[in-house]
Amino acid sequence: MVQDGAFDDLKRQIAGLEGIDPARHGTWAMDTRLVRGYGGIDGATGALSVPIYPSATFAHPGYDRSTGFMYGRCGNPTRLALEDSIAMLEGGCKAWAFSSGMAALSTLLKLFDPGDHIIVGDDLYGGTYRLMDQVYARFGLEFEYIDATDLSQVRRALRPNTRALFVETPTNPMMKVVDLAGLSVLIKEAGGLFIVDNTLLTPYFQRPFEQGADIVVHSATKYLCGHNDILCGLVVIREPALIEPLFMLSMSEGGMLSPHDSWLLQRSIKTLGLRLEKQQQNAFELVGFLKAHPRVKAVHYVGDPDHPGYGLSKKQASGFGGMVSFSLESPQLLKSCLGRLRLVLYAESLGGVETLITYPLEQTHGAVPEELRERLGINDRLLRLSVGIEDPRDLIEDLDQALSV
Ligand SMILES: Cc1ncc(COP(=O)(O)O)c(C=O)c1O
C-alpha cells in the first residue's frame, strides 16, 4: 500500500507518469509510426537504436532532485521508450511492459476487488481462462463466461456488481469476431471497464480504443515480437485516470520487462507491418488450399468472405491477420498429420515468422473445461495455424503431404 502523499512524491520523480504527448507523432500513418514513432533517438550521439540501460537503480543529482528515474522496477529508460511507443501505436495515453502476457493480465486483474463481477468472452486463450478461473476466482472475483458475439447474452449477464467486460477478437482458437463498438456501449452503460486482448491483430490492423475500449492488453510474445524469441506482455490505457492505480500495481508486483527485452521488442515492432502483411497474404493462400482439401471439414479465417464475422471484421479492423483454425475429418488424421509435417512446426505459440501448428485441445486450451471446449468446438479434430512468412508454396506442399496419408 502506498502511504498518503508518497505516491505524489513518486509521481514527481518517475519519468513517463504523465503519459505520452499524442501531438508528438503528428499525422504520421501507421507504417511511419512503426519505424519512426518511438522516442528513443539519442540526442547526444544521434544513435537510432534506443540504448539499453541495464541499471537497477538511478542516482539522484541532489536532494529532492531526480533524472526522472529512481529504481528499475518503477521505471527504466529503455522500457519507457517501448511503453511510449506501444501507447502511441494503440492511441492510448500510457502503457506498461511486463515479462509475459500472463504477467500483464495478472497485474491488470488486481484492479478489481473481491465480489466484483467480470464478464468474459468465452472463446479465449486457455491460460487466461486458467488465471481467471483457478487463481483470481479464489480471491473472490466472479467471472462469467458468455458468447460475446451475441450482444443479448452480454446484456443479460450484466449485474449491479459488474465491473468489466473482457474479450479477445478474433477469438482464439475459433476465430469468431466480436462487435467491439456494440459491446463498449453495453459495458459503458453498466459503468464497467471494457478490456480487449488485441494480441491477434495488433494495432497495425485493429485499434480497440477507437471502438470504445478502456484497456488494451497484449501478449507481445506473439506478433509484436514476431520472432519467437522473447516473452512479453503489455497493458495500455486510454484515459489518464487509470495511470495511478496501474502504476501502483505494476511497481508493487514487479513483473516488468527487462531492459534488454524491451529493446528487442522495440526493434521488432519496426517490421510489424511488413510481417503482418506477408503473414496475411500467406494465410489467404493456405485458406484456399485447406478449403479445397477433401479431408478438411471446416476452415475458420476471418478474412474468408464465407466466415460469419467477415463483414464485422472489415468494419472494425483494417486487416484479417494470419491466424487460421481448421477441422479435419478424424482424430487419427490429426495425429498423423502432426507427425508428418516437416516445414510447419508443431509448437505452442503464434505470431512469429515461422509457421506453427497447434493442437488447442492438448496445448493452448487444455485448461478450459471439457463442457466449454465441446460447446466451442475445441475438439480432437481441430488444429490452429499461425501462418509465418515462408514461401506459401512450400507450406502448402508440406500440409498436402501431411494430410495425404
Ligand atoms: C491471446 C493471448 N493472450 C494472452 C496470452 C498469454 O501471453 P504469454 O504467453 O506471453 O504469457 C496468450 C498466449 O498464448 C494469447 O494467445
Lowest mean pLDDT among 4-8, 53-57, 265-269: 4-8
CA of 105 to the centre of ligand 1 (A): 9
Give the 3-state DSSP-derived string for the chain, with helices as H, strands as E and coil as C: CCCCCHHHHHHHHCCCCCCCCHHHHCCCCHHHHHHHCCCCCCCCCCCCCCCCCCCCECCCCECCECCCCCECCCCCHHHHHHHHHHHHHHCCCEEEEECCHHHHHHHHHCCCCCCCEEEEECCCCHHHHHHHHHHHHHHCCEEEEECCCCHHHHHHHCCCCEEEEEEECCCCCCCCCCCHHHHHHHHHHCCCEEEEECCCCHHHHCCHHHHCCCEEEEECCCCCCCCCCCCCEEEEECCHHHHHHHHHHHHHHCCECCHHHHHHHHHHHCCHHHHHHHHHHHHHHHHHHHHHCCCEEEEECCCCCCCCCHHHHHHHCCCCCCEEEEEECCHHHHHHHHHHCCCCEECCCCCCCCCEEECCCCCCCCCCCHHHHHHHCCCCCEEEEECCCCCHHHHHHHHHHHHCC
Q: Is the pLDDT of residue 11 over 80?
A: no
Please, what is the average pLDDT of the chain? 93
- Ligand 1, atom 10: closest residue by C-alpha: 101
Q: Is the pLDDT of residue 216 over 70?
A: yes
pLDDT value of position 1: 32
Specify the CATH superfamily of domain 272-403.
Aspartate Aminotransferase, domain 1 (3.90.1150.10)
Contacts of 300 (CB under 8 A, 6+ apart): 174, 175, 307, 324, 325, 326
Q: What are the pLDDT digits (tens) for 270-314? A: 999 999 999 999 999 999 999 999 999 999 999 999 999 999 999
CA 147 to chain centre: 19
Q: Which atom of ligand 1 is nearest to the CA of 199?
A: 1
Contacts of 365 (CB under 8 A, 6+ apart): 125, 126, 129, 173, 373, 378
Q: Which is more confidently placed, 9 or 169?
A: 169
Q: Indicate which residue of 116, 122, 123, 197 is catalytic.
A: 197
Confidence of residue 9 (pLDDT cuts 50, 70, 90): low
Contacts of 400 (CB under 8 A, 6+ apart): 289, 293
Query: Any bridge partners for residue 119, and if so which?
Result: 144, 165
- Residues touching ligand 1 (Cβ under 6 Å) are 100-102, 125, 127-128, 168, 172, 197, 199, 219, 221, 231, 233
Confidence of residue 389 (pLDDT cuts 50, 70, 90): very high
- d(CA 373, CA 123) in angstroms, rounded, equals 9
Query: Any bridge partners for residue 193, and if so which?
Result: 164
The pLDDT of 367-381, averaged and rounded, is 91
- d(CA 37, CA 270) in angstroms, rounded, equals 9
pLDDT value of position 13: 54
pLDDT value of position 26: 64
Among 107, 374, 100, 87, smallest CA distance to 239 is for 87
Assigned C-alpha cell, 357: 501448428
73 is catalytic: yes
Q: Which atom of ligand 1 is nearest to the CA of 233?
A: 10
CA of 287 to the centre of ligand 1 (A): 24
pLDDT value of position 37: 79
Confidence of residue 2 (pLDDT cuts 50, 70, 90): very low
Mutate which of 99, 102, 108, 227 to test ligand 1's pocket (most atoms within 8 Å of Cβ)? 102
188 is catalytic: no
147 is catalytic: no
Half-sphere exposure of 276 (CA within 13 A, CB side): 25
Confidence of residue 195 (pLDDT cuts 50, 70, 90): very high
pLDDT value of position 357: 98
Asked whether the whole model's pTM tops 0.85, one would answer yes
With b for 16 or more beta-carbon neighbours within 10 A and e for fewer, the 378-387 pattern comes to beebbbbbbb
Dihedral sign for Cα atoms in the order 393, 361, 364, 167: positive
Q: Indicate which residue of 176, 222, 238, 381 is catalytic.
A: 222
Q: Indicate which residue of 38, 79, 122, 125 is catalytic.
A: 125
Instruction: Give percent of the chain above pLDDT 70.
Output: 94
- d(CA 271, CA 206) in angstroms, rounded, equals 17
Q: 272-403: same fold as 6-269?
A: no
Confidence of residue 405 (pLDDT cuts 50, 70, 90): confident
- Ligand 1, atom 7: closest residue by C-alpha: 101
Q: What are the pLDDT digits (tens) for 63-113? A: 988 888 999 999 999 999 999 999 999 999 999 999 999 999 999 999 999
With b for 16 or more beta-carbon neighbours within 10 A and e for fewer, the 321-338 pattern comes to bbbbbbbbeeeebbeebe
Amino acid letter at 226?
Answer: G
The pLDDT of 227-242, averaged and rounded, is 97
pLDDT value of position 202: 98
Compute the C-alpha angle 379/383/389, nearest 5°: 165
Assigned C-alpha cell, 139: 480471491
Q: If one looks up domain 6-269 in CATH, what number appears?
A: 3.40.640.10
Q: Is the pLDDT of residue 48 over 70?
A: yes
Domain boundaries, the chain: 6-269, 272-403
Mutate which of 129, 198, 201, 219 to test ligand 1's pocket (most atoms within 8 Å of Cβ)? 219
CA of 183 to the centre of ligand 1 (A): 22
